[in-house]
Every structure is written in structure tokens, then in C-alpha cells.
Copies of this chain bind each other. A is one copy, B any other.
Amino acid sequence: MSFDPATLTFTSDGLIPAIAQDAATGEVLMMAWMTAEAVTRTLETGRVTYWSRSRQAFWVKGESSGHVQKLVDFRVDCDRDCLLVLVDQTGPACHTNRRSCFYTAVRAGEEVELMTPVED
């Protein structure tokens, strides 16, 4: 069946959450948002493209930082209201320069930092 981004379920703001996972290691890197047009651009260019809610603009991941995400596989969930993009991640995915945004664990009621920023 041919894929049409319009068949996805978006929030009232026209957004759908997209989880980025490292295709090689399986590490969950980040979660951000896409519009229907960001989905189309991601599939057409092979460069993962989100919608920046703060800037209200398309956000080609890594365009300024160089930490690009090359699309390896694109997945839709059962309810069609969440996406999973498997990516080839160049450099750290997180704006804090850590490999993943999920670097804080909660263990025995305490926050534990699992990763330190990558040295430039």
C-alpha cells in the first residue's frame, strides 16, 4: 500500500512525535516532532527533518551543528500517531553534546547522569 502522510494522526497543532533510534546500536537518541510536510521531506531527502516548535520552522537535524541523521528506516506505529526513525547519527544527537538526550536515569529516587558531553 502506498504511504500517504495525510493518513497519520496529528495533534491539534498538526504534529506527530518522532523517536530517533540509532540503527546500528539500538540506542534511543531523542524524541522530537514532525509535521506532515516534515515527514515528506524526511522520506524524500533521507535527511531526518523535524518541526521546531520553539522556532516554528523546519529543522533539518544537524544543519547547523553537523550532527546529521541519515534515515535508515521509517516506521509508523499501530495507531498511526507516533513515528520511529532509525538513523545513522553523525556525532552526538543531543544539543548538550551527549550521544543521547536520555542521559539522566532515576535510580532509588535519585537522578544519576549516565553520559558526559562528547569532547569536540
Contacts and interface: CB of A to CB of B under 8 A. Distances in A.
Interface residues of A, number: 37
A116 to B, nearest CB: 13
A106 B31 contact: no
Contacts of A110: 1-3
- State the number of copies, please: 2
A30 interface: yes
A30 B77 contact: yes
A102 interface: yes
A103 B95 CA distance: 30
Given A28-B28, A31-B17, A82-B31, A77 B106 contact: no
A96 interface: yes
Interface of A: 1-3, 17, 19, 21, 25-28, 30-31, 43, 73-79, 82, 84, 94-96, 98, 101-107, 109-111, 114
